[in-house]
Chain A
Amino acid sequence: MSARTYTYYPGCSAKGVGRGFTESLEAVFEHLGAGLEELEDWNCCGATAWPSVDEDQAFALSARNLALAEDRVPDAGPVDVLASCTGCYRALLKTERALGQPGPVADKVGGALAAIGLDYEGRARVRHPIDILVNEIGLDRVSAAVVRPLTGLKVACYYGCLLVRPFATFDDQYDPTSMDRLVRAVGAEPIEWPLKTRCCGGSCYCGGPVIGAMPEATMQLSYALLREATKRGADMIATICPLCQFNLEGFQDRMSRRFGRPLDIPAVFISQLLGVAFGIDEERLGIQRLMRWRLPEPAAVGASAPAGGGGDARD
């Protein structure tokens, strides 16, 4: 079993509203014999609205993180930087691509890094933890780690906009399947649905209907996802983005009132689901931070499910 440790870039949201994502990823990777080491002194990736205001500064913010990751591994080999939040993943990957081509952006950002004593050599490779789980650790090892198969659990895998757009590095741009394969590997059943990469409204920003500039549009986009997943029989939605997760779980009561149809479906991080199947303590997975959490009846889900563990709706 590999004891490889990966450099982990959490980003602001996966340490805040989405901290259950970071907690569960760390627990799951450790369980699978890998490690995540948080990048020291990381800064905001420069996603948000920054690229629209000053794109070079946005590149520079991400570039500092990539340069710090390279500093951490001073030999000449590649350095994998795992970014869990898909907004950060996209921003860092975009920077990796921009700086990988000679031109004015690379010159300017390279000069800005040099001004603070850093250098980006092009060794840092931005990757998503799902890519590592599926293509490096492997589905066989994931399956082998299962002690509580999630048989009977129907999961709508929601990838959001940014994991495969604009860069599809490890999955299909139109019909990604990495999460579906992970869900199958732990005994659950991914539902077929056409909205797996449709926007949740997080881009109408920031934090969904709470403070979004366009709350009505955000609500409609999130509602369409929740309604479709429910209609197709999903017991829960699994996602990989802190903003999507919050958008989808946080406002179901408000959407139910607004659209006149009841919504009550947990939205969780895929790593939390994997951790439950691995038998990891729920607190280590950040399950207590979810607003809704329940599994189908214990008889249907895993032999070792606790008695009366049908779960709770915490809304």
Chain B
Amino acid sequence: MIEDRGRSTESWISMKLYLKTNPGRLLKNAGIGRRLMRQGRLGLRRESIRERGKLRALLKAASS
């Protein structure tokens, strides 16, 4: 996510992790997710930086 967009979006990280590890917990925690969305603390819009190409070039150049 960060290689592609430069920032992490908590909602997407959570969902991806749940789906990979334990999809049942996605349902278990849907309530608190909805609550955070209502409070404006969690959104589905994916955050991004402007210079995404440069960030990818930076990571490639710094790769061990």
Contacts and interface: CB of A to CB of B under 8 A. Distances in A.
Interface of A: 12-13, 15-20, 41-44, 46, 48, 50, 54-57, 59-61, 64, 108-109, 111-113, 115-117, 206-207, 210-211, 213, 250-251, 288-289, 291
A284 to B, nearest CB: 13
Interface in B6-52: 6-10, 13-14, 17-18, 21, 25, 29, 32-33, 35-36, 39-43, 47, 49-51
Contact of A15 (B25, B47, B54, B57): B47
Q: Kindly list the 5 A-B residue pairs having the minimum CB-CB distance in the complex, ordered from nearest.
A: A60-B62, A112-B61, A112-B62, A43-B6, A116-B54
B62 A43 contact: no
Nearest to B39: A289
A98 to B, nearest CB: 12
Contact of B62 (A16, A19, A56): A56
A291 B59 CA distance: 38
B17 A109 contact: no
Contacts of A19: 40-41
A254 to B, nearest CB: 9
B40 A17 contact: no
B17 A44 contact: no
Contact of A210 (B29, B41, B57, B61): B29
Given A207-B14, A288-B39, A291-B35, A109 B6 contact: no
